[in-house]
Structure 1
C-alpha cells in the first residue's frame, strides 16, 4: 500500500506512475484527486475530534472549579456540554473508523510505483533483455514438447487427472514423478546450503488479512481458491510468498537480524482466471503446482542490492541444470501489482521453440510492509521504519521439469537426467519407457 502522506506531497508523481502502468491519464488524475479529497475529509474530521476532546478535558476541569466556587448553575451547564461532547466523540470515533476504512479501501487497489529505471511499456513485447546465458542448441526435427514425451513414456497422464479433478491437472508417475521431487530437493539444498536462505514449512491455507498483506486481496480474489473455516474462510496459497512474507507481520524486527531470507517448497494453487485458451496442453499452466519460493526481508538501504542477489540465486538453479535462459527486465505495463521492479527469468523450451518464464524476482519496497504493519528498528535503535520485502521463484518446479524433459530429450524418446540431479535419482542417468 502506498503512503498517503507521499501521495499528498507528490500527486503528480503518482499520476505519472499510474500512466506508466497503462492507466489512462483521466483515470489516473481522477483517482489521485479522489484520494486527496478522501484524505482531506478524514484529516478535517480527526482535527475536529481532537478539538472536541480538548474541550471536554477543559470543561471537566471547569466543572470542578465551578463546584468548588459554589456556582451550581455553571457546573450543570458545563456537565450538559460535556455530555453533548461525549456523544459527539462516540459518534465521531465511529465516523473516523468509517473514513479510515474508506481511504484504505481506495489505497488497497492502487499498484506500486515503478522505479525510474524500469522500462516504460504496455506488455511483454516491451520488456528488455538483461542478459542471455547459454547457447541455444540446434533444433533437430524429432524434437517434441514435454507432454508428448511424458505421455509416450507412460509417466504423464492428463486424461486420468481430468477424471479426478478436471482440466489443468496432471498425474505424474514413476521416473518423472521422482524427477519432480528431485528438482524440488535440489533447489532447496542449493538455496539453504549455498545461498543462505532458511528453510520453512509454512501453512498452505491462510487468512484474508495475510492474503491482503501480500496484495492478493482484494484485487486478485478471483485467482484464489478458498475453503470454509469456522464462520469464515481460509485461502489456499497461490505462492509461498504469502506465508513467508507475513512471518514478520505486525512485528518490529531488530536491525541486526536483517536481512531475513526464507525459502520453502510448497504446492501452490491458482484458479488461472482469465487464462482460458492459454497453454491448455501440458503442464505449463496448472491449478496445482510445486514451487520453491525465495523471500527476503531487508532494511530500506539494502533492498536493491538484495534484488540483484536474489535474481542471481534463482539463475544459479538453471546454470546448475545446464539449461539455456535469459533474464528480462519487465516493463511498467507487464510488471506485477506490488512490484517496483521485476526480473523475469525465461528458460528455453526447444519443444515450443521459445523462452518461457520460470522465475519472477521482484522488489516491493515498503508496499507490502505497510499492508502488514511490518517494521524494523533503525541502526541507532531510536526509530521504527517499514521493512522492504522481496520475493522470487527459485524456481517453479513443474516448469523446471518441463525444461529438463525438453532440453534433455533423446531421439529414442528417453530423457537424460542432468548430472546435478542424479544423486537425488538413485544414480540413474536416464528415464526410459518401462
Structure 2
C-alpha cells in the first residue's frame, strides 16, 4: 500500500514514432540531459549506461547527489523500465516509464510515486513529454532520418553545446568533443586553437564550432581583444584543417550582431548588409574566417537565446521573479530571440541538411520590443513589470559601447534562409518562456 506521504503522478502522451524507436531513444547517450528541465537545480554527473540495471547520478548541490538505480526486476524492453531513488534520506521516488504501440505511434506513460512536492513533479513530467515528442520530430525530419554521422564539436560545455550535443547523440550520431585539456575518453580529442593537429578531424563528417570567449562584460580593450582573438584565428585554423581533411560540412557560430547595434525598425534578413560597430566588425571577420574552399559552410547568426541555464534570461529571471523587472532603457528597441531548443534544432539542421549554406538567422519568426519582452516574462512568472531600468544602468555595468551594442541594441531580424517549411517548436515568446521556465 502506498504511504499517505507518497503521491502518485501520471502523465500519458502519444508520440509520433514507432515503439522501438521511442524506447531506443531513452537508452542513448544524452537522453537524461535532454529530459532534465533547465529550471531545476543540479547537473548530470553520470548517465545510466543500461536501462535494465544502470545507475544515473545527478549533482543537486556540492556534496548532495541524486542517485537513481534502474530496477532489473521492473524491466521489460521495449515496454518498460523503472528507476528508484537510492539516496537523499527519507525522500522516496519510483519512476515507471511505460511504452505501448499505438497504430504506428507510441503511447508514453510516466508514473512517479514520490514524497517530493507535487507541483514540481507535474511540471517536470510536462516538460519531459514535450521535449521527447519534439526531439523525436526533429530526428524524423526528411534530411535527418536514417543518417548517422561523426560530428566534432568545440565549446561543448557552453550553454548551446550542452543542449546540442545530447540532441545529436540521442539522434544516433557520434559526437567527438574537441577539448583544450587532456581528453577523458575516445570521444574527446585535444584541440589547440592556435595550432590544431593535422589529424584532429580524421574520420569526421561535420564540424560544429561553438567556442569563443563570452561577449558579456564591460567593453574594455582587454575584453574586446579576448572576444576577437578567441574567434577569428582559431576559426580560420580549424576551418583549414577541416578543408585539408575533406570534412564535408563546417557549421560555425555567429551572431546577429553582424547587423549593427541600431537598425531601427528595418526588417533584417540574411541578405541585409553589415552594420557598424565592434561586434559587427568581429562577426564579419569571424564568418569570413570560416569560408574555406571545400566544406559546405553554414554561419549560424544567433539571436538572444532563451534559457534559464545561461545568457540574459539567467540574469533576468531572479529580478522578474522578485517583482523587480522591467524593460531596459525606453523599451522600444527590437529584440530578436530564440528558444534554446529551437537553436539546437537550427544547428542540427545545419549539420544534416545539405541544401543549407551560408549565413542563417537563428531567430524566432516573431521578434518583440523590449517592453513587450518584459511584459511577457512578467506574465509568465505572475509578477508585475513596473520598474524600467534606465539606460544608465547597463552603461555603468557594460560601459557605453557595451551597453549600446548589447543591452540596448535594436535588431529586428527575420529567419528567411530557414524557409517557410522550417518548424519552430516555440514560434512565440510566451510559449518559449513557459517551456524553459516550466510555467
Greater relative contact order structure (CA < 8 Å, 6+ sep)? 1
TM-score under structure 1 normalisation? 0.24
Bigger-Rg structure (1/2): 1
TM-score under structure 2 normalisation? 0.24
